[in-house]
Structure 1
Amino acid sequence: MQAVIPFPDISPEIFSISLFGMEFALRWYALAYIVGIVLGWRLVVMAVRRGHLWRGGEAPLSVRDIEDLLTWVILGVILGGRLGFVLFYQPGYYLQNPVEIVKVWQGGMAFHGGLLGVMLACLGFAWSRGIRFLSLADLLCMAAPVGLLLGRIANFINAELWGRPTDAPWGVVFPTAAAQDCPGVEGPCARHPSQLYEAGLEGLLLGAVILWLVWRHRALWMPGLVAGVFFIGYGLSRFVVEFFRQADAQFITPDNPMGYVVHLGNWGLSMGQLLSLPMVALGLFLLLIARRHET
């Protein structure tokens, strides 16, 4: 009999209350966003206050700038993440049901869209304050792995974005009907806990590497270096995990059971892999720019 790990019985809702005939609930995913933003903000403030981390002994922006930036970042994450999901994953559905776009409480956020939204927000903020954009990008990329770690753990608790069927002893039996729809599998269907793979690679490992570079090797002295490492690290991590992650249902057909959006003979690329390749290319470009500030 195959060894499997039962899914832990954790409710997606931390607590709920009824007010004026309406039900309000705090979900793990929302808490992950809140805690990730707060911890990331405090990490950035710590870096700004430590002059030895910056060339010339002083950060190019103040703590007050960081506090003002927080609102821009929150809007970029929410608007970009939602619009990215709409455009990249289900454009046909939302074109027919445009009112559904604003219903973010029903789920549906894309990391690549959220990242693009934050980048545009930072561009606008940096231009309005006369701040070097690459230094600002480095700070945000230093903080981003914290949110990624918490967000992927919340995905696991929500029993969403699970992986492909597996007979590995660490396979998890997710409780939803969709997760148990595994053609050819008899009995409980175990899947890769791909959310935890991403939490480990994009959150713990990438975050540790970036903090080591910042605090031990003065990476912030070279604008663009931290951002370059983040884009390359995230892009490669996501590309690898996509081999174990179940493709989104709208891409899976009888003729395309793996859900590829680009076909390369018997192989192909998922949407996540396709969106990650430009991130790696951008990261390499940023590393080339950072080398100009090495001396």
Structure 2
Amino acid sequence: MLQHPHFDPVAFTLGPLAVHWYGLMYIVGFAAAWYLGRWKIQRGLSTIRLTDFEDLLFICMLGAVFGGRLGYVFFYKPAQFLSDPLTIFYLWEGGMSFHGGLIGVLLAIALYGYARKYSFFVLSDFLAPLVPLGLAAGRLGNFINGELWGRTTNVPWGMVFAGPQDGLARHPSQLYQFGLEGIALFIFLWFYALKPRPTGRISAYFLMGYGVARFIAEWFREPDDFLGLLTANLSMGQWLSLPMILAGVILYRFSATQSRHAQ
């Protein structure tokens, strides 16, 4: 049985400003996406212009933050926020949904693609391999904060977190998600995307890959205490992942009819 290190959630302070590790993880994620995207474009591995990519990345960042917050509001705590709508803007209190963030990013891609005359799937195929490292950084932030811990377990690497206050060992599910949704998905998508692929194929693999990884990891993660397990003993995260997997399968079949292009 291991003990969670109980990291200070504040990385450092600048006068009255406290910089939290979780916020830094967002910066790390977008910095990694920026670097990898520039690397591909500068080596002629994409038809997207560098300035367009940088503009798109900024817009997607806004879509991820606002979509993530609104997704958390509507998927997880709609009653609470309907009773006190202003708490939607209390970002410092935490509460972000990946699935909501994904919707925000897809909307940003659609709007930007329309404005700059890019195919939606050309942009999404380019961005998909850049996302998992950001997801990995976010899960690492969850682990540092000692939040979103796993279900109780007796495995040797079970970890005692301060949050549950029950002294029981739990799965470090944040690290499972770090490895599955983050590192493993990144390695697969990055190397797969280095060669021309049918339009939509990389996006399809991202949807299926993340959906399956999240669905598996949720078996080890403690369900939200205000929701518990839902129909068929599945968590909200699992139910939200099922449409992603289905969309990925449909997109995969669609991509089989498309020509190959550089990502």
TM-score between the two structures when normalised by the length of structure 2: 0.95
Report if the CA contact (8 A) 1:60-1:132 is conserved. no
Instruction: Measure the CA separation in 2 of the matches of 1:249 and 1:108.
Output: 14
Report if the CA contact (8 A) 2:6-2:162 is conserved. no
Report if the CA contact (8 A) 2:199-2:259 is conserved. no
Displacement, 1:271?
Answer: 0.4
User: 1:24 is matched with which residue: 17, 33, 43?
Assistant: 17
Instruction: Measure the CA separation in 2 of the matches of 1:284 and 1:46.
Output: 29
Report if the CA contact (8 A) 1:138-1:227 is conserved. yes
What one-letter code is carried by the residue in structure 1 that aligns with 2:171? H
User: 2:199 is matched with which residue: 223, 243, 260?
Assistant: 223
What one-letter code is carried by the residue in structure 2 that aligns with 1:13? V
CA deviation string 1:189-238 (max 9, x = no partner)? 111100000000011111001112122xx1x4322111111110100011
Of all paired residues, the percent bearing the same amino acid is: 43
Q: Pick 1 or 2: higher relative contact order, CA cutoff 8 A, min separation 6.
A: 2
Displacement, 1:167?
Answer: 0.8
- 1:164 partner SS: coil
1:195 matches 2:188: no
More divergent stretch after superposition (111-120 vs 135-144): 135-144
Instruction: Measure the CA separation in 2 of the matches of 1:61 and 1:140.
Output: 11
Displacement, 1:48?
Answer: 2.3
What one-letter code is carried by the residue in structure 1 that aligns with 2:40? A
1:72-87 to 2 correspondence within 5 Å? 72-87=59-74
1:166 matches 2:153: yes
Report if the CA contact (8 A) 2:204-2:247 is conserved. yes
Instruction: Measure the CA separation in 2 of the matches of 1:293 and 1:45.
Output: 26
Instruction: Measure the CA separation in 1 of the matches of 2:140 and 2:191.
Output: 23
Instruction: Measure the CA separation in 2 of the matches of 1:152 and 1:9.
Output: 16
1:293 matches 2:258: yes
TM-score between the two structures when normalised by the length of structure 1: 0.85
CA deviation string 1:152-195 (max 9, x = no partner)? 0110000100001111110011112xx124xxxxxx21111000
User: 1:132 is matched with which residue: 119, 128, 146?
Assistant: 119
Instruction: Measure the CA separation in 2 of the matches of 1:85 and 1:147.
Output: 18
Q: Which residue of the partner structure matches residue 46 of structure 1?
A: 39
Query: Could you say which structure has the larger radius of gyration?
Result: 1
How big is the alpha-carbon RMSD for the aligned residues of Structure 1 and Structure 2?
A: 1.3
What one-letter code is carried by the residue in structure 2 that aligns with 1:180? Q
Instruction: Measure the CA separation in 1 of the matches of 2:197 and 2:241.
Output: 27
1:232 matches 2:208: yes
Report if the CA contact (8 A) 1:221-1:293 is conserved. no
Q: Extract unaligned runs of 5+ from structure 2.
A: none
Q: Which residue of the partner structure matches residue 255 of structure 1?
A: none
User: 2:183 is matched with which residue: 194, 204, 229?
Assistant: 204
Q: Extract unaligned runs of 5+ from structure 1.
A: 54-58, 182-187, 252-258
Instruction: Measure the CA separation in 1 of the matches of 2:256 and 2:34.
Output: 27
